[in-house]
């Protein structure tokens, strides 16, 4: 009989953990998803056309839980998604619940002539990114606002091209004089 009591105790404990897990999951699914919002995007163009990018965003506790418990290494998933979306080589430097820093090779085209070097960035359509993200499993937990509240593209000479609350950023050209 003592073995049976021990078994019931373990069974009861496992059942309680399972019940708590189910209640937590039900709470997450029943709670309306808060917005994943990009608050700022900084694109710093290097002299060779590569870009160092910093994205600041807000995630609710529920979104953090959903993403970070389902993905052991979110930076690897993000790197793969960005490379497939952009067609460029992407290196993720860091990922946190509020910021991602990354580097994109050959982000801006550059051409030299007698007046200097002209850098041309690609256009960025955040509505396309939103459509792409909708295909991922976590999209049902997150309402997305991928249009940055503030975007600043900075060229090698320090010239800034700022944008505020836009879903589409056109290609930007800037010449850095000799």
Contact 74, 136 (CB under 8 A): no
Domains of the chain, residue spans? 1-30, 33-177
Higher-confidence position of 70 and 37: 37
Q: What percent of the chain has pLDDT over 70?
A: 59
E-only strand ranges, 22-138: 35-45, 51-58, 90-95, 99-104, 109-113, 116-120, 124-125
Average pLDDT over residues 105-132: 88
d(CA 63, CA 104): 26
Contact 154, 160 (CB under 8 A): yes
How would residue 61 be classed by pLDDT, with cut points 50, 70 and 90? Answer: low
- What CA dihedral angle connects 108, 109, 114 and 115, to 10 degrees? -30
At 36-52, the pLDDT tens digits run 778 899 999 999 999 99
Which tokens in the block code for residue 117?
Answer: 């070097």
Nearest to 100 by CA among 146, 141, 69: 146
Averaged confidence pLDDT in the chain: 75
Minimum mean pLDDT range among 29-38, 55-64, 153-162, 164-173: 29-38
How would residue 145 be classed by pLDDT, with cut points 50, 70 and 90? Answer: confident
d(CA 126, CA 40): 13
Residues 6 or more apart whose Cβ sits within 8 Å of residue 120: 108, 109, 110, 111, 171, 172, 173
Note the pTM of the prediction, 2 decimals: 0.72
Nearest to 32 by CA among 67, 63, 58, 64: 63
């Amino acid at each position: 009989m003592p073995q049976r009591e021990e078994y019931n105790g373990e069974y009861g404990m496992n059942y309680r953990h399972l019940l708590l897990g189910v209640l937590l999951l039900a709470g997450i699914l029943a709670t309306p998803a808060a917005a994943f919002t990009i608050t700022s995007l900084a694109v710093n163009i290097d002299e060779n056309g590569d870009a160092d990018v910093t994205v600041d965003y807000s995630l609710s506790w529920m979104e953090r839980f959903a993403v970070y418990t389902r993905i052991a290494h979110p930076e690897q998933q993000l790197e793969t998604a960005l490379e497939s979306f952009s067609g460029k080589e992407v290196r993720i430097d860091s990922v946190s619940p509020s910021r991602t820093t990354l580097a994109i090779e050959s982000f801006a085209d550059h051409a030299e002539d007698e007046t200097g070097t002209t850098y041309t960035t690609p256009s960025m359509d955040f509505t396309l990114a939103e459509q792409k993200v909708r295909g991922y499993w976590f999209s049902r937990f997150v309402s997305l606002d991928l249009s940055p509240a503030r975007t600043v593209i900075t060229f090698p000479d320090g010239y800034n091209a700022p944008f505020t609350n836009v879903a589409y950023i056109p290609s930007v050209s800037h010449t850095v004089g000799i």
